[in-house]
Structure 1
Amino acid sequence: MSKETQNSQQILGLVPARGGSKGIPKKNLFPIMAKPLLQYTFEAAKESGALNNIMISSEDDEILHFAQLHGIDTRYRRPQALATDQASTADVVLDVLAWLEQMGELPDVLVLLQPTSPLRSAEDINRAVQRFIELGVDSMVSVHKMVEHPFKSMHMKDDGSWQYLARPGQKAHRRQDYDGNFFTVNGAFYIVKPSWFKEQKAFVVEGETALFEMSSIAGIDVDELVDVFKVEAYLKMLAK
């Protein structure tokens, strides 16, 4: 990103990282190739050169200390009420924005970087922020192409009955018959203008949010141990 663009916009990177997790205990500090999961996001964010500041939102002392050691802004501490499984990421961001407004530090652009996307690169962040500014949109979300076509997706009820989630307009059973432009949100990052986000209270609004396509591997989301194995296998392959 050009220095001119950086100087004209205050762009904040926000890393949401609570202490608890369901699938993997202490997931945000879980080691992947001997490096805590959080560290991948910290390094990519700092190396991108696209962010004026990088903050963390956490209630956990160990996570906050780890972030501070890596030069991340830890002045904000997440309330315990927003550190539960029931708390939404949107509510977490709204609380951070309220704190920033009180501090007189509300940014022009907020880039939410979830630590569960360790393969999201500095270049991914840089290109996405640049694209966001070029488009002049209020919201952008990272996506990758769906591996399974949505017309094959089903919902099964407790009684064993099921129904298609999406019904095709015409029968298309072969992969080559499908329109390949189906994408899924991968959670690697969300980019918003705070004023828009405070009004919408959502990251993605149909007709308003721009999509930023990434490769499926770059957007992999670490939720369970099997995801850790996938990331480690990919990193080992790159190291050869």
Structure 2
Amino acid sequence: MKNLAIIPARGGSKRIPKKNVKLFLGKPIIAYSIEVAIESGLFDEVIVSTDDQEISRISQKYGAKVPFMRSEENSNDFAILNDVLTEVVEEYSKREIVFDNVCIILATAPLITVRSLKESYDLMHNKGFDSVRPVVKFSYPIQRAFKMDATGKVEMMHPQNYSMRSQDLEPAYHDSGQFYWINQGKDLLDPNKGAFVISEMLVQDIDDADDWALAELKYRHLNRKNDNELLHSGGC
């Protein structure tokens, strides 16, 4: 099997300036995604898709390739991961290079583990899914969610669930926002998707300064020197 890792890293982040190369515990945050991809041994190539020269330079410093710069069309706020996937696959196709599987790894996923990459890859092939992603279980039943109006008044979105026991409600999951395995010729919109459940401790959405601080706290906790295994050895 020939596998490609794509790390999308656009330069124009707004909520956190230069988010993809901002220092995370002393190292550009994109370096964590690059290093775990390389350490996993799963990929024939690890590339970064970017429109930014600084991101390109830093990515190459940590071992990724930047064989071509991202097009202007896919460098705006409206570009989605599927657009990046298509552009990269088509560019390699022009060079007569085809990969059996592609893994899109987000640039701001410092809690990603080698174990998660490997186990989800095995799941995709053992179960015949077209794509697989890590997900996290909601800590509280979403069937008991509230909605709120402009005055602050709340009401249940699904009042029929008010009297049901938590254990009788179907578990729900959300995307961890870390990576996506995809079979060649498929995309993220294909319906035959699989999921790999990971711990909430391994997940942190990073959209603002508080999120960033929480991610650093989780990373420190997972990498304490007295742990039996380090995070990037897949020991979490």
Scaled by the length of structure 2, what TM-score is found?
0.85
In 1, Cα distance between equivalents of 2:194 and 2:21:
31
In structure 2, what residue type is equivalent to 1:114?
Answer: L
In 2, Cα distance between equivalents of 1:58 and 1:144:
28
> What CA RMSD, in Å, does the superposition of the two structures yield over aligned residues?
2.2
1:147 aligns with 2:139: yes
The ranges of structure 1 where at least 4 consecutive aligned residues each deviate by more than 6 angstroms after the TM superposition are 157-163
Q: 1:91 aligns with which of 69, 80, 83?
A: 83
1:219 aligns with 2:203: yes
1:51-106 CA distances to partner (integer Å, 9 max, x unpaired)?
12111100000000111112212112101221111111211211111111111112
In structure 1, what residue type is equivalent to 2:224?
Answer: A
Distance 1:64 1:183, change over 3 A: same
Q: 2:122 aligns with which of 118, 130, 137?
A: 130
CA drift of 1:160 comes to 6.9
Distance 1:98 1:149, change over 3 A: same
Q: Where does residue 175 of structure 2 map in the other structure?
A: 185
Distance 1:158 1:21, change over 3 A: farther
In structure 2, what residue type is equivalent to 1:178?
Answer: L
1:95-125 CA distances to partner (integer Å, 9 max, x unpaired)?
1111111111121101010012110111211
CA contact (8 A) 1:116 1:223 kept: no
Return 5+ residue gaps in structure 1 as ranges. Answer: 1-8, 198-202
In 1, Cα distance between equivalents of 2:169 and 2:127:
29
Q: 2:44 aligns with which of 20, 42, 52?
A: 52
Distance 1:123 1:168, change over 3 A: farther
Distance 1:153 1:72, change over 3 A: same
Q: Where does residue 3 of structure 1 map in the other structure?
A: none
Q: Where does residue 229 of structure 1 map in the other structure?
A: 213
Distance 1:161 1:96, change over 3 A: farther
In structure 2, what residue type is equivalent to 1:81?
Answer: E
In 1, Cα distance between equivalents of 2:220 and 2:195:
30
In 2, Cα distance between equivalents of 1:205 and 1:146:
24
CA drift of 1:25 comes to 0.4
Q: 2:162 aligns with which of 158, 162, 171?
A: 171
Q: Where does residue 66 of structure 2 map in the other structure?
A: 74
In 1, Cα distance between equivalents of 2:212 and 2:148:
28
CA drift of 1:170 comes to 4.1
Q: How does 1:101-116 map onto structure 2 within 5 Å?
A: 101-116=93-108
Q: Where does residue 6 of structure 1 map in the other structure?
A: none
In 1, Cα distance between equivalents of 2:140 and 2:194:
22
CA drift of 1:186 comes to 1.4
In 1, Cα distance between equivalents of 2:74 and 2:2:
26
Q: 1:239 aligns with which of 213, 217, 224?
A: 224
In 2, Cα distance between equivalents of 1:88 and 1:232:
27
**Structure 1 residue matching 2:201: 3-state secondary structure:** coil
Return 5+ residue gaps in structure 2 as ranges. Answer: 226-236
**Structure 1 residue matching 2:202: 3-state secondary structure:** coil
Q: Where does residue 11 of structure 1 map in the other structure?
A: 3
- Count of residues paired in the alignment: 224
Distance 1:194 1:69, change over 3 A: same
Instruction: Between 101-110 and 130-139, report the one with greater CA deviation.
Output: 130-139
